[in-house]
Amino acid sequence: MDSPDKRGDTFMLEVNGLVKHFPVPGKRKSVVHAVDDVTFAIRKGETLGLVGESGCGKSTVARTVARMYKPTAGKIILDSHDISTLNGRELRPFRKKMQMVFQDPYSSLNPRMTVLSLVAEPLIAQGIVDTARAARDQVVQMLTEVGLSAEHCSRYPHEFSGGQRQRISLARALVLGPELVICDEPISALDVSIQAQVINLLQRFKQEQELTYLFIAHDLSMVRYVSDTVGVMYLGKMVEICDSEEIYRNPLHPYTRGLLAAIPVPDPGAAKERTRSVAIRGDLPSPISPPRGCRFHTRCKEVMDICRRVEPPLQTKEGDHKVACHLYGSLQ
């Protein structure tokens, strides 16, 4: 991504050359290449949607940015502060600025804690409240904001529906007044009828509190409605990134076109023809030994000899539209 100097942009999050590898148990020299050299930035008050198949590394990006994982390499700049190498107590002030909402609200909430305790816990950990009364007042206010009420305070997570549990997770994340919220597939575990409600909540908070979102998803159709910018990941790499509407109007990478072709459309005939022309074939290769050259070449219908030998860099084609693909030659 371009640096913010040319247009005076203010970035909430800048990720530069992010790498995260995991050692393979029992194999000293083998690693899982979960994230390899990923770069992007999110302006304050905007949403970046990060999409790709399961196993492409997008959730690892989310957890590494949130510093649940220590980066193998690269920089994570949160509101102009480099948090890449901070640990323990050094990270504490930045936890308030950055919160995370997980995919499964049930597993992310301690089943032995009441809703009051769950939502109050971040307030107490950050030393924001010093009395039980003050904590309860803030918790009740936050629960009301997400569509719950004071009477839910004494209940436990198992007493709620999936949608209600995700509202509790939102309340827990937002009670600290964060500036960046990382949403790791926050609606994929919910019924379709509930997904829109959660998305509307996220959008309302974005407007009212000027929040910045990193929104992780595999559903490109949903990402379109919540994101200002969309980044597409494949096997640990960013392969395309641009304005949300542009990526639907003019997808450049064959992988992006394949993902878009998988979105259901009302016309079965048109859907069949579209899928036949750009469908992604085969299975995702192992991240332990990713293919040489372009990592997508083993599944790409437009593969060329250079794709098997040389890894394409992420380069600008026009405007802010970046793509990593040899189909477009050497872009300057």
The per-residue pLDDT for range 203-226, each reduced to its tens digit, is 999 999 999 999 999 878 788 889
pLDDT for position 332 = 41
Least Cα distance to 60 among 222, 216, 179 occurs for: 216
Average pLDDT over residues 90-115: 89
Residue 318 has pLDDT above 90, yes or no: no
CATH architecture of 11-112+156-328: 3-Layer(aba) Sandwich (3.40)
pLDDT for position 3 = 43
Q: pLDDT category, 191, cuts 50, 70, 90?
A: confident
Q: pLDDT category, 129, cuts 50, 70, 90?
A: confident
pLDDT for position 219 = 76
Sequence spans of domains, the chain: 11-112+156-328
Alpha helices in the chain (DSSP H): 58-65, 92-97, 115-125, 132-145, 162-174, 192-209, 220-226, 244-249, 254-261, 268-278, 305-309
Q: How far apart are CA 225 and CA 98, in angstroms?
A: 23
Of 201-205, 238-242, 246-250, 271-275, give the lowest mean pLDDT range.
271-275
pLDDT for position 295 = 97
For residue 171, give the 3-state DSSP assignment: helix
Assessment of whether the complete model's pTM goes beyond 0.95: no
pLDDT for position 268 = 58
Q: pLDDT category, 276, cuts 50, 70, 90?
A: low
Residue 2 has pLDDT above 50, yes or no: no
Q: How far is the first Cα of the chain from the last one, in angstroms, to the nearest whole number?
A: 14
CB 154, CB 167: distance < 8 Å: no
Residue 30 has pLDDT above 80, yes or no: yes
Q: How far apart are CA 60 and CA 301, in angstroms?
A: 28
Q: pLDDT category, 152, cuts 50, 70, 90?
A: very high
